[in-house]
Amino acid sequence: MKRPNPFLKTSTLTLALALSALGLAGASQAATGANGERLMNGKSVYGVPAAASSAVKEINVDQLSTLNVNCGDTLSFRRGEQSFTWKFDVVGHRIVDLQKIAPAGFIDKPLLVYVDRNESERN
């Protein structure tokens, strides 16, 4: 009777794990779309526009170059007479440049928003 080769079993398992990892990486890329800023359903990876009444704070963008928020925070941004409100529901808690989510012409300088986990999120 021929004995099974333990190295063949290990290399098959390693190959299966590697292919699974590649598949997950591909699925992640596909889920965020080609440019990485939109999910497959068309929504932004940075969150969603929100009603001004849901904002917990108003931010004057002329006075800042960076901002720290928690994932799930809803903020109103003001510049002169213009304003917009955004709920930060950020995939991977990545840094958001406000220029990417603000209405066209709202801001003419980078304002980096650092998004951290909120208290109810694990890991």
Tell me the residue range of the domain where 62 lies: 47-116
Assess if residue 109 is contained within a domain. yes
Using an 8 Å Cβ cutoff, are 98 and 109 in contact? no
pLDDT value of position 24: 45
53 and 26 in one domain? no
Answer yes or no: are the C-beta atoms of 47 and 95 closer than 8 Å.
no
φ, ψ for residue 8, nearest 5 deg? -65, -40
Please check whether residues 3 and 59 belong to one and the same domain: no
Q: 88 to each of 2, 11, 21, 51, 69, how far by Cα in Å?
A: 61, 44, 29, 13, 8
Shared domain for 58 and 109, answered yes or no, is yes
Same structural domain, 56 and 109? yes
Number of folded domains in the chain? 2
Tell me whether residue 80 is in a domain.
yes
Per residue in 27-39, pLDDT (tens digit) is: 444 443 445 688 8
pTM over 0.85: no
- Report if residue 76 sits inside a domain: yes
Q: Tell me: the pLDDT tens digits for 51-80?
A: 999 999 999 999 899 999 999 999 999 999
Q: Clarify whether residues 20 and 75 are in a common domain.
A: no
Residue 55 and residue 10 in one domain: no
